[in-house]
């Protein structure tokens, strides 16, 4: 198993990881009529089929609004470019939709780093913290979990990586809650700081 930062397959969360976090989840719950503090997608998926479909459409509309506000996280374009230049493969696993993810990546000018088949949204695989999206990406790439890193800003990202057997990288400017720590292999404040860590961890050429 390779040390985390020397691995060749990198799976990124979108919102709050590649982008600056803009989602106001309490406001989203109010607009959707969902009770406070429940997981939005889990709650929607326990409704009846017609109601769940209506709520998914309403959630998609809200996600499109947020997509138009997306800004690149510090150092993100440089990190993706460096990984790709080094021959790493890049994938994206988001609880957002594939369509919105594509819209955000195009808006930020980094869509060229991700093959369409390597973009997984909440309709392509059961959402994180389940590891299904990671497993399908590994299958698609014919890659091993021991050569893969899951990068995200939320406990969901860390848990999905742990469950799939990948290394985990937390991107978060502050200290993580204590109960997240056992799920974190590396922690950086931004994609730019991850890039610096990755450059330092590379074997000399
Ligand atoms: Mg996120």
Task: Give the Å distance between the CA of 194 and the centre of ligand 1.
Answer: 16
* Share above pLDDT 70 across residues of the chain, in percent, rounded to a whole number: 99
Task: Give the Å distance between the CA of 204 and the centre of ligand 1.
Answer: 32
Question: Which residues, in sequence order, are bridge partners of residue 186?
Answer: 169
Task: Give the Å distance between the CA of 91 and the centre of ligand 1.
Answer: 14
Q: What confidence tier does 21 reach under pLDDT thresholds 50, 70, 90?
A: confident
pLDDT digits (tens, 9 = 90+) for 57-83: 999 999 888 888 899 999 999 999 999
pLDDT digits (tens, 9 = 90+) for 144-180: 999 999 999 999 999 999 999 999 999 999 999 999 9
Task: Give the Å distance between the CA of 65 and the centre of ligand 1.
Answer: 16
Q: Which residues surround ligand 1, an ion (CB under 5 A)?
A: 13, 15-16, 153-154
CA distance 202 to 192: 16
Q: Which phi and psi angles does 86 have, rounded to 5°?
A: -80, 0
Task: Give the Å distance between the CA of 189 and the centre of ligand 1.
Answer: 14
Q: Domains in the chain, ordered, with CATH? A: 4-20+71-201 (3.40.50.1000), 25-67 (no CATH)
């Amino acid at each position: 198993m390779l040390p985390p930062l020397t691995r060749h397959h990198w799976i990124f969360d979108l919102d709050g990881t590649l982008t600056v976090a803009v989602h106001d989840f309490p406001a989203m719950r109010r607009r959707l009529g969902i009770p406070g503090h429940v997981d939005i997608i889990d709650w929607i998926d326990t409704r009846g089929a017609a109601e769940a479909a209506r709520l998914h459409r309403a959630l998609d509309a809200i996600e499109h609004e947020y997509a138009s506000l997306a800004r690149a996280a510090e150092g993100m374009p440089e990190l993706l470019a460096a990984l790709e230049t080094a021959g790493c493969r890049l994938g994206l696993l988001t609880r957002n939709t594939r369509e919105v993810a594509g819209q955000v990546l195009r808006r930020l000018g980094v869509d060229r780093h991700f093959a369409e088949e390597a973009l997984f949204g909440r309709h392509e695989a059961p959402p994180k913290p389940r590891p299904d999206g990671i497993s399908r990406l590994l299958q698609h790439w014919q890659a091993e979990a021991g050569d893969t890193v899951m990068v995200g800003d939320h406990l969901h990202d860390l848990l999905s990586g742990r469950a799939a057997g990948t290394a985990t990288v937390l991107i978060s400017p502050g200290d993580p809650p204590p109960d997240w720590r056992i799920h974190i292999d590396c922690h950086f404040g931004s994609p730019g700081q991850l890039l610096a860590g990755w450059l330092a961890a590379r074997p000399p050429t």
